[in-house]
């Protein structure tokens, strides 16, 4: 698949502070990448460099083959910042129209209606941004980021203010974007959300990627649990191939076996391990 976002040895320093210490990362078309890491890990810096908001101190970043920050690169990007505000005097429809003008989109009213429908704000098109709840503003922000059909969507904590229904709307939207071959970089602290929708995850700590892979690759076996007539028995070092032997031994020793569970670590476990080890 074509590479949409490419970072090579990307560095950013703020004085003596290293925000990014040589990050290599690639995101393919239609791929949903989860960017995880504790506060100050460099997630927002990486996102902002890709969007041309922050200048890299070293290395290279390209969007669709164009240097990050250049006009062609910005034309390919949709962005929702972690901390954002929209002019409170603009309605949802007016805000999207403004961004259509800025992005050079000729989608017109049809695009505005479609985007507001996608994020569940079809009934709020005339509501001013200042009168919206934080959750509505976040959904409006996602709609704004989608103006002009970007090939790469950079979302920095897009669901932090959303209720469970709103999060589900965003999850469905992200899956729809993947179907449309839009690449998405989702920076989030909500590991369960990332685990549910992302194809691949990169964990940043101290400006370095300390772990990467699919959620399944990052998860590790944590043994076997067997529910017997005398209670639950744990075999933390056992693997899938050990199950017949364990069951046979338990049965031969007179235990009654009701259920066998293969245990695997969650993304949260993998994250905590990566962050703790770094």
Partner 1 sequence: MTGALIVARYALREAVRRRVILVVLVLTVGFLALYALGAAVSFDEVNTLAADDQLDERVLVGATLFGLAMFTTLFLGTVLGVFLTLGAVRGDAERGLLQPIVVRPVGRTSLLLGRYVGAALVCAVYVTGVYIAAMVITGITGDWWPDDPVGPGAGLVLAVLVITALSLLGSVFLSSTANGIAVFMVFGAGLAAGLLGQIGDALAVQTLQDVAEISSWVLPFEALYQAGLHALTQDTRGITGVIVQLGPFGGAQDAGPGLWLWSLAYLGLVGAAARAGFARRDL
55 in contact with partner 1 (CB under 8 A): yes
Compute the distance between CA of residue 138 and CA of residue 159 in angstroms, rounded to an integer: 7
Sign of the C-alpha dihedral computed for residues 175, 179, 148 and 49 taken in this order: positive
Strand, coil or helix: 168: helix
108 in contact with partner 1 (CB under 8 A): no
104 in contact with partner 1 (CB under 8 A): yes
Sign of the C-alpha dihedral computed for residues 216, 213, 1 and 5 taken in this order: positive
Stretch that binds partner 1, among 81-89, 185-193, 204-212, 226-234 (CB under 8 A): 81-89
Name residues contacting partner 1, limited to 142-181 (CB under 8 A).
144-145
- Comparison of 51 and 170: residue with beta carbon closer to partner 1: 51
- Comparison of 101 and 126: residue with beta carbon closer to partner 1: 101
Compute the distance between CA of residue 195 and CA of residue 249 in angstroms, rounded to an integer: 36
- Comparison of 86 and 271: residue with beta carbon closer to partner 1: 86
- Residue bearing tokens 């990448």: 33
Compute the distance between CA of residue 192 and CA of residue 197 in angstroms, rounded to an integer: 9
- Comparison of 77 and 194: residue with beta carbon closer to partner 1: 77
Instruction: List the alpha helices (DSSP H) in the chain.
Output: 43-51, 71-75, 92-103, 108-118, 134-145, 164-179, 191-197, 215-218, 243-252, 267-277
- Comparison of 119 and 218: residue with beta carbon closer to partner 1: 119
Structure tokens at 127: 């509501």
86 in contact with partner 1 (CB under 8 A): yes
84 in contact with partner 1 (CB under 8 A): yes
Structure tokens at 189: 């602290």
- Comparison of 148 and 215: residue with beta carbon closer to partner 1: 148
Compute the distance between CA of residue 157 and CA of residue 170 in angstroms, rounded to an integer: 12
Structure tokens at 230: 């005398």
> Nearest distance from residue 144's CB to partner 1, in Å?
6
Stretch that binds partner 1, among 51-59, 108-116, 157-165, 231-239 (CB under 8 A): 51-59
> Nearest distance from residue 77's CB to partner 1, in Å?
6
Stretch that binds partner 1, among 45-53, 106-114, 115-123, 187-195 (CB under 8 A): 45-53
Residues that bind partner 1 (CB under 8 A): 48, 51-55, 71-72, 74-75, 77, 79-81, 83-87, 89-90, 98-99, 101-104, 141, 144-145
């Amino acid at each position: 698949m074509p590479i949409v976002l490419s970072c090579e040895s990307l560095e950013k320093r703020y004085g003596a502070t290293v925000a990014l210490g040589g990050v290599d990362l690639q995101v393919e078309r239609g791929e949903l990448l989860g960017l995880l890491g504790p506060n100050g890990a460099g997630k927002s810096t990486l996102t902002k460099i890709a969007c041309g908001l922050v200048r890299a101190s070293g290395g290279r970043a390209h969007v669709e083959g164009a240097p990050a920050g250049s006009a062609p690169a910005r034309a390919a990007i949709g962005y929702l910042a972690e901390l954002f505000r929209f002019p409170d005097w603009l309605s949802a429809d007016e805000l999207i129209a403004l961004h259509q003008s800025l992005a050079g989109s000729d989608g017109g009213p049809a695009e505005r209606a479609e985007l507001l429908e996608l994020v569940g704000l079809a009934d709020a098109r005339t509501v001013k941004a200042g009168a919206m709840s934080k959750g509505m503003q976040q959904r409006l922000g996602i709609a704004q980021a989608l103006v002009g059909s970007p090939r790469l969507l950079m979302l920095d904590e897009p669901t932090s203010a959303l209720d469970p229904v709103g999060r589900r709307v965003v999850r469905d939207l992200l899956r729809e974007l993947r179907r449309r071959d839009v690449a998405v970089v989702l920076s989030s602290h909500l590991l369960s959300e990332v685990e549910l929708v992302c194809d691949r995850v990169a964990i940043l700590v101290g400006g370095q990627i300390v772990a990467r892979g699919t959620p399944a690759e990052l998860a590790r076996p944590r043994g076997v649990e067997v529910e017997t007539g005398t209670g639950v028995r744990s075999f933390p070092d056992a693997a899938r191939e050990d199950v017949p032997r364990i069951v046979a031994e338990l049965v031969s020793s007179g235990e009654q076996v009701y259920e066998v569970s293969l245990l695997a670590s969650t993304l949260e476990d993998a994250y905590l391990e990566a962050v703790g080890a770094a």
